Copies of this chain bind each other. A is one copy, B any other.
Amino acid sequence: MGWSYTCAMTQKRSDTIAETLEGMILDGTFADGERLDETQLAQRFSVSRTPLREALQRLAVSGLVEQQPRRGVFVRQPGPVELLEMFEVMAELEAACARFAAVRISDDALAAMRAANARCQAAVEARDADGYYRENEHFHAILYRQSGNAYLEQECRRLHRRLTPFRRLQLRLRGRLAQSMAEHEAVVAALEKGDAQAASDAIRSHVAVQGEKFHNLMASLRSAAE
Protein backbone atom coordinates (compact mmCIF):
# COMPACT_ATOMS: atom_id res chain seq x y z
CA MET A 1 0.00 0.00 0.00
CA GLY A 2 1.30 3.43 -0.84
CA TRP A 3 0.54 5.24 2.38
CA SER A 4 3.49 6.57 4.28
CA TYR A 5 3.36 10.05 2.76
CA THR A 6 -0.09 11.34 3.65
CA CYS A 7 -1.46 9.77 6.76
CA ALA A 8 -3.13 12.88 8.18
CA MET A 9 -6.38 10.96 8.05
CA THR A 10 -8.55 13.49 9.83
CA GLN A 11 -11.38 12.15 7.72
CA LYS A 12 -11.96 9.01 5.81
CA ARG A 13 -10.74 8.51 2.31
CA SER A 14 -14.30 7.89 1.18
CA ASP A 15 -15.36 11.25 2.61
CA THR A 16 -13.00 13.27 0.48
CA ILE A 17 -13.89 11.17 -2.54
CA ALA A 18 -17.60 11.76 -2.00
CA GLU A 19 -17.00 15.48 -1.67
CA THR A 20 -14.86 15.60 -4.78
CA LEU A 21 -17.33 13.60 -6.84
CA GLU A 22 -20.20 15.74 -5.59
CA GLY A 23 -18.35 18.83 -6.67
CA MET A 24 -17.61 17.35 -10.07
CA ILE A 25 -21.25 16.45 -10.60
CA LEU A 26 -22.44 19.88 -9.52
CA ASP A 27 -19.81 21.49 -11.73
CA GLY A 28 -21.17 19.56 -14.64
CA THR A 29 -17.95 17.63 -15.18
CA PHE A 30 -20.10 14.58 -15.74
CA ALA A 31 -22.92 14.73 -18.24
CA ASP A 32 -26.42 13.57 -17.39
CA GLY A 33 -26.82 9.83 -17.68
CA GLU A 34 -23.09 9.19 -17.75
CA ARG A 35 -22.02 5.99 -16.09
CA LEU A 36 -19.49 6.26 -13.29
CA ASP A 37 -17.15 3.31 -13.62
CA GLU A 38 -16.04 2.05 -10.23
CA THR A 39 -12.69 0.55 -11.19
CA GLN A 40 -11.85 3.49 -13.39
CA LEU A 41 -12.62 6.04 -10.68
CA ALA A 42 -10.82 3.89 -8.12
CA GLN A 43 -7.68 4.01 -10.20
CA ARG A 44 -8.11 7.72 -10.71
CA PHE A 45 -8.29 8.34 -6.97
CA SER A 46 -5.64 5.71 -6.27
CA VAL A 47 -7.85 3.75 -3.92
CA SER A 48 -9.57 0.41 -3.98
CA ARG A 49 -13.21 0.02 -4.96
CA THR A 50 -14.39 -0.20 -1.37
CA PRO A 51 -14.14 3.46 -0.32
CA LEU A 52 -15.24 4.53 -3.77
CA ARG A 53 -18.39 2.46 -3.56
CA GLU A 54 -19.17 3.98 -0.19
CA ALA A 55 -18.83 7.42 -1.70
CA LEU A 56 -21.17 6.48 -4.55
CA GLN A 57 -23.71 5.14 -2.08
CA ARG A 58 -23.76 8.49 -0.36
CA LEU A 59 -24.22 10.34 -3.63
CA ALA A 60 -27.10 8.01 -4.48
CA VAL A 61 -28.89 8.90 -1.25
CA SER A 62 -28.33 12.58 -1.94
CA GLY A 63 -29.97 12.03 -5.29
CA LEU A 64 -27.00 13.15 -7.38
CA VAL A 65 -26.63 9.74 -8.96
CA GLU A 66 -29.01 6.91 -9.61
CA GLN A 67 -28.02 3.40 -8.77
CA GLN A 68 -29.43 0.67 -10.95
CA PRO A 69 -28.84 -2.71 -9.32
CA ARG A 70 -26.29 -4.83 -11.12
CA ARG A 71 -26.00 -2.14 -13.78
CA GLY A 72 -23.99 0.64 -12.22
CA VAL A 73 -24.44 4.21 -11.09
CA PHE A 74 -25.41 6.98 -13.48
CA VAL A 75 -25.24 10.69 -12.85
CA ARG A 76 -28.63 12.21 -12.65
CA GLN A 77 -28.75 15.88 -13.53
CA PRO A 78 -32.15 17.43 -12.91
CA GLY A 79 -34.14 18.15 -16.04
CA PRO A 80 -35.98 21.42 -16.70
CA VAL A 81 -39.13 20.28 -14.94
CA GLU A 82 -37.37 19.05 -11.84
CA LEU A 83 -35.29 22.21 -11.70
CA LEU A 84 -38.38 24.36 -11.75
CA GLU A 85 -39.83 22.23 -9.00
CA MET A 86 -36.68 22.59 -6.94
CA PHE A 87 -36.71 26.35 -7.33
CA GLU A 88 -40.35 26.35 -6.29
CA VAL A 89 -39.50 24.42 -3.14
CA MET A 90 -36.51 26.66 -2.47
CA ALA A 91 -38.83 29.66 -2.67
CA GLU A 92 -41.23 28.09 -0.19
CA LEU A 93 -38.46 27.09 2.20
CA GLU A 94 -37.02 30.58 2.19
CA ALA A 95 -40.51 31.99 2.61
CA ALA A 96 -40.82 29.83 5.71
CA CYS A 97 -37.49 31.17 6.95
CA ALA A 98 -38.76 34.71 6.47
CA ARG A 99 -42.02 33.93 8.27
CA PHE A 100 -40.13 32.77 11.32
CA ALA A 101 -37.38 35.33 11.07
CA ALA A 102 -39.89 38.19 11.04
CA VAL A 103 -40.63 37.33 14.66
CA ARG A 104 -37.30 35.91 15.73
CA ILE A 105 -34.60 37.93 14.04
CA SER A 106 -32.11 39.80 16.18
CA ASP A 107 -31.09 43.42 15.69
CA ASP A 108 -27.55 42.33 15.01
CA ALA A 109 -28.70 40.02 12.25
CA LEU A 110 -30.82 42.76 10.72
CA ALA A 111 -27.78 45.00 10.68
CA ALA A 112 -25.75 42.18 9.13
CA MET A 113 -28.31 41.76 6.36
CA ARG A 114 -28.25 45.45 5.66
CA ALA A 115 -24.47 45.37 5.57
CA ALA A 116 -24.50 42.44 3.18
CA ASN A 117 -26.91 44.31 0.98
CA ALA A 118 -24.69 47.38 1.01
CA ARG A 119 -21.70 45.30 -0.04
CA CYS A 120 -23.89 43.70 -2.70
CA GLN A 121 -24.78 47.14 -4.01
CA ALA A 122 -21.11 48.13 -4.04
CA ALA A 123 -20.30 44.97 -5.97
CA VAL A 124 -23.01 45.75 -8.50
CA GLU A 125 -21.57 49.21 -9.06
CA ALA A 126 -18.06 47.83 -9.31
CA ARG A 127 -19.29 45.21 -11.78
CA ASP A 128 -17.82 42.64 -9.41
CA ALA A 129 -19.88 39.56 -10.23
CA ASP A 130 -18.04 37.29 -7.80
CA GLY A 131 -18.32 39.79 -5.00
CA TYR A 132 -22.02 40.15 -5.64
CA TYR A 133 -22.44 36.43 -5.64
CA ARG A 134 -20.59 36.02 -2.36
CA GLU A 135 -22.58 38.69 -0.55
CA ASN A 136 -25.80 37.35 -1.99
CA GLU A 137 -24.98 33.95 -0.53
CA HIS A 138 -24.25 35.61 2.78
CA PHE A 139 -27.60 37.40 2.75
CA HIS A 140 -29.49 34.17 2.28
CA ALA A 141 -27.35 32.35 4.83
CA ILE A 142 -28.27 34.93 7.46
CA LEU A 143 -31.93 34.52 6.61
CA TYR A 144 -31.69 30.74 7.05
CA ARG A 145 -29.97 31.14 10.39
CA GLN A 146 -32.45 33.71 11.63
CA SER A 147 -35.35 31.37 11.04
CA GLY A 148 -34.34 30.13 14.46
CA ASN A 149 -34.88 26.60 13.22
CA ALA A 150 -31.68 24.63 12.77
CA TYR A 151 -33.42 21.86 10.85
CA LEU A 152 -34.96 24.30 8.42
CA GLU A 153 -31.62 26.03 8.06
CA GLN A 154 -29.97 22.76 7.21
CA GLU A 155 -32.57 21.83 4.62
CA CYS A 156 -32.26 25.26 3.04
CA ARG A 157 -28.50 24.96 2.80
CA ARG A 158 -28.83 21.55 1.22
CA LEU A 159 -31.18 22.62 -1.53
CA HIS A 160 -29.38 25.92 -1.97
CA ARG A 161 -26.17 24.04 -2.57
CA ARG A 162 -27.86 21.74 -5.04
CA LEU A 163 -29.17 24.69 -7.04
CA THR A 164 -25.91 26.63 -6.99
CA PRO A 165 -24.76 25.90 -10.55
CA PHE A 166 -28.13 26.88 -11.94
CA ARG A 167 -28.42 30.07 -9.95
CA ARG A 168 -25.15 31.36 -11.28
CA LEU A 169 -26.38 31.23 -14.85
CA GLN A 170 -29.28 33.59 -14.47
CA LEU A 171 -27.18 36.29 -12.83
CA ARG A 172 -25.70 36.95 -16.24
CA LEU A 173 -29.00 38.36 -17.38
CA ARG A 174 -28.94 42.11 -17.92
CA GLY A 175 -30.66 44.16 -15.27
CA ARG A 176 -31.24 41.18 -13.02
CA LEU A 177 -28.75 42.33 -10.40
CA ALA A 178 -30.43 45.69 -9.78
CA GLN A 179 -33.83 44.07 -9.54
CA SER A 180 -32.49 41.41 -7.20
CA MET A 181 -31.03 44.11 -4.96
CA ALA A 182 -34.38 45.86 -4.71
CA GLU A 183 -36.00 42.58 -3.73
CA HIS A 184 -33.42 42.08 -1.00
CA GLU A 185 -34.19 45.52 0.35
CA ALA A 186 -37.88 44.71 0.44
CA VAL A 187 -37.19 41.58 2.45
CA VAL A 188 -35.13 43.47 5.00
CA ALA A 189 -37.77 46.19 5.28
CA ALA A 190 -40.49 43.65 5.96
CA LEU A 191 -38.35 41.83 8.51
CA GLU A 192 -37.62 45.10 10.26
CA LYS A 193 -41.32 45.79 10.56
CA GLY A 194 -41.87 42.28 11.81
CA ASP A 195 -44.33 41.70 8.97
CA ALA A 196 -44.18 37.95 8.46
CA GLN A 197 -46.55 37.91 5.51
CA ALA A 198 -44.76 40.64 3.60
CA ALA A 199 -41.34 39.17 4.33
CA SER A 200 -42.27 35.70 3.18
CA ASP A 201 -44.02 37.02 0.08
CA ALA A 202 -41.02 39.15 -0.80
CA ILE A 203 -38.45 36.39 -0.50
CA ARG A 204 -40.74 33.89 -2.20
CA SER A 205 -41.11 35.96 -5.33
CA HIS A 206 -37.41 36.80 -5.20
CA VAL A 207 -36.44 33.14 -5.34
CA ALA A 208 -39.29 32.01 -7.56
CA VAL A 209 -38.37 34.55 -10.20
CA GLN A 210 -34.93 32.96 -10.36
CA GLY A 211 -36.53 29.71 -11.34
CA GLU A 212 -38.65 31.39 -13.97
CA LYS A 213 -35.69 33.31 -15.33
CA PHE A 214 -33.81 30.09 -15.54
CA HIS A 215 -36.70 28.44 -17.29
CA ASN A 216 -36.81 31.24 -19.83
CA LEU A 217 -33.10 30.89 -20.31
CA MET A 218 -33.47 27.19 -20.97
CA ALA A 219 -36.29 27.80 -23.40
CA SER A 220 -34.27 30.31 -25.34
CA LEU A 221 -31.30 28.00 -25.37
CA ARG A 222 -33.45 25.17 -26.63
CA SER A 223 -35.02 27.21 -29.40
CA ALA A 224 -31.60 28.51 -30.35
CA ALA A 225 -30.38 24.93 -30.63
CA GLU A 226 -33.02 24.13 -33.23
Spell out A's residues near B (CB within 8 Å). 10-12, 14-15, 50, 53-54, 57-58, 60-62, 69, 81-82, 85-86, 88-89, 92-93, 95-96, 99-100, 149-152, 155
Contacts and interface: CB of A to CB of B under 8 A. Distances in A.
Total copies of the chain: 2
A150 B57 CA distance: 23
A58 B92 CA distance: 27
Given A57-B61, A85-B149, A88-B100, 11 more contacts: A10-B69, A53-B54, A54-B54, A57-B57, A57-B58, A58-B60, A61-B62, A81-B150, A89-B96, A92-B99, A95-B96
Q: Among A15, A57, A58, A155, find the residue whose CB has the most chain B CB atoms closer than 10 A.
A: A57
A155 B82 CA distance: 13
A12 B54 CA distance: 14
Nearest to A58: B61
Contact of A92 (B81, B82, B92, B150): B92
Given A11-B69, A12-B69, A88 B57 contact: no
A59 to B, nearest CB: 9
Contacts of A15: 69
Q: Among A61, A62, A82, find the residue whose CB has the most chain B CB atoms closer than 10 A.
A: A61
Contacts of A100: 88
A152 B54 CA distance: 27
A98 B123 CA distance: 38
A81 to B, nearest CB: 8
Contacts of A93: 92
A85 B150 contact: yes
Nearest to A90: B151
B89 A151 contact: yes
